[in-house]
Chain A
Amino acid sequence: MSDTFFNPHQRATVEAAMARIIPTDDTPGAREAGCVDFVDRYLSGIGYIFAKPDGSGFEVLEGASAKAWMQRIEIMRERYVAGLLDLDARAHERFSADFVALAPQQQDDILHELEQAGTGAPRTLAVNDALAGPVSPQPALQQTSTEVDLDFLPLMVTHTRQGYYADPIYGGNRNRIGWEVIGFPGPASLKDVHIGRYTTLQYFAEGEADKVREFHDGL
Chain B
Amino acid sequence: MAYKTKPARTDVVIIGAGASGAAAAKVLCEAGVKVVALEKGPWRKKESFGGDELANINRYNLWPDPILNPRTWRETADDDARSEMFCPVPQMVGGGTVHWQGWLPRFTENDFRLRTVAGDLPGTSLADWPITYDELEPYYLKVEWAFGVSGQPGANKFESRRSGGYPCPPMPISRYAQKFIKGCDALGWNAFPTPQAALSRPFNGRKATVVSAFAQQHGDPTGTRSSALNVFIPDAVATGNFELRPDCVVRELTLDSEGNIKAAIYQDADGDTIEQEADLFILACGAMETARLMLLSKSGRFPNGVANGSDMVGRNVTFHEYSAAVGTYDDPVYAWAGGGYVSASTFQHYEHDASRGFVSGGHIAVAGVGIPLPINWRMPGTPSWGAEAKKNDRDHFSHSLAIAMVLHDMPQHENRIDLDETVVDAWGLPVARVTLKPHRNDVDQGRYLIDRGADILEASGALTIRRVYADRVTGNCSHQHGTARMGDDGATSVLNRWCRAHEVENLYAVDGSPFPTGTGANPTLTIMANAWRVADKIIAERGAAV
Contacts and interface: CB of A to CB of B under 8 A. Distances in A.
Interface string A152-180: 00100100111001110010000000010
Contacts of B60: 144
Interface residues of B, number: 91
Contact of B212 (A23, A27, A198): A198
B213 A65 contact: no
A200 B52 contact: no
B474 A167 contact: no
B476 A124 contact: no
B456 interface: no
Interface string B474-492: 1111100000000000000
Contacts, number: 247
Interface string B210-230: 111110010001101000000
A198 B375 contact: no
A58 B211 CA distance: 26
Contact of A49 (B59, B207, B372): B59
B85 A146 contact: yes
Given A54-B50, A125-B84, A204-B174, A183 B213 contact: no
Interface string A176-219: 00010111101100100111111111011100110110011000
Nearest to A144: B57
A218 to B, nearest CB: 10
B404 interface: yes
A25 B471 CA distance: 38
Contacts of B477: 141-142
Interface in A88-104: none
A161 B476 contact: no
Contact of B202 (A134, A154, A194, A215): A215
B58 A132 contact: no
Given A64-B68, A130-B468, A201 B172 contact: yes
Contact of B50 (A161, A162, A194): A194
B468 A128 contact: yes
Interface string A39-59: 000000000011111110000
A203 B466 contact: no
Contacts of B88: 143
Contacts of A138: 472, 474
A110 interface: no
Contact of B221 (A144, A193, A215): A193
Given A132-B377, A154-B384, A196-B222, A22 B390 contact: yes
B172 A209 contact: yes
A193 B214 contact: yes
B469 interface: yes
A78 B58 CA distance: 20
A198 B215 CA distance: 12
A179 B213 CA distance: 13
B208 A216 contact: yes
Contact of B67 (A72, A160, A162): A72
B337 A203 contact: yes
B476 to A, nearest CB: 3
A165 B373 contact: yes
Interface string B343-381: 000000000000000000000000001111111111011
Contacts of B52: 50-51, 53, 166-167, 190
B175 interface: yes
Interface string B158-177: 00000000000000111101
A161 B58 CA distance: 12
B172 A212 contact: yes
Contacts of B513: none
A21 interface: yes
B397 A184 contact: yes
Contacts of A124: 82-84
Nearest to B339: A200
Contacts of B478: 142
A71 interface: yes
Nearest to A186: B213
Nearest to B387: A23
A113 interface: no
Interface in A103-147: 108, 111, 124-125, 127-135, 138-147
A29 interface: yes
Contacts of B202: 215
Output the residue of B224, B385, B468 with the most chain A CB within 10 A.
Answer: B385
| Contact residues of A: prevailing secondary structure | loop
Nearest to B200: A212
A157 B385 contact: yes
A146 B66 contact: yes
Contacts of A11: none
Given A145-B376, A167-B52, A196 B210 contact: yes
A210 to B, nearest CB: 9
A111 B386 CA distance: 10
Contacts of A25: 387, 390
A205 B178 contact: yes
B95 interface: no
Interface string B271-291: 000000000000000000000
A161 B374 contact: yes
B373 A129 contact: no
A147 B58 contact: yes
A82 interface: no
Contacts of B48: 53
Nearest to B178: A205
B140 interface: no
A173 B100 CA distance: 26
A79 interface: no
A141 B385 contact: no
B192 interface: no
A68 interface: yes
B23 interface: no
Contacts of B51: 53, 167, 187, 190, 193-194, 198
Contacts of B394: 27, 181-183
Contacts of A196: 207, 210, 212, 221-222, 224
A166 B178 CA distance: 29
B145 interface: no
Contacts of A77: none
5 contacts: A129-B378, A131-B324, A132-B376, A138-B472, A165-B373
List the 10 shortest-distance A-B pairs measured between CB atoms, nearest first: A53-B50, A193-B51, A140-B476, A130-B380, A215-B208, A208-B172, A203-B337, A68-B67, A203-B334, A182-B397
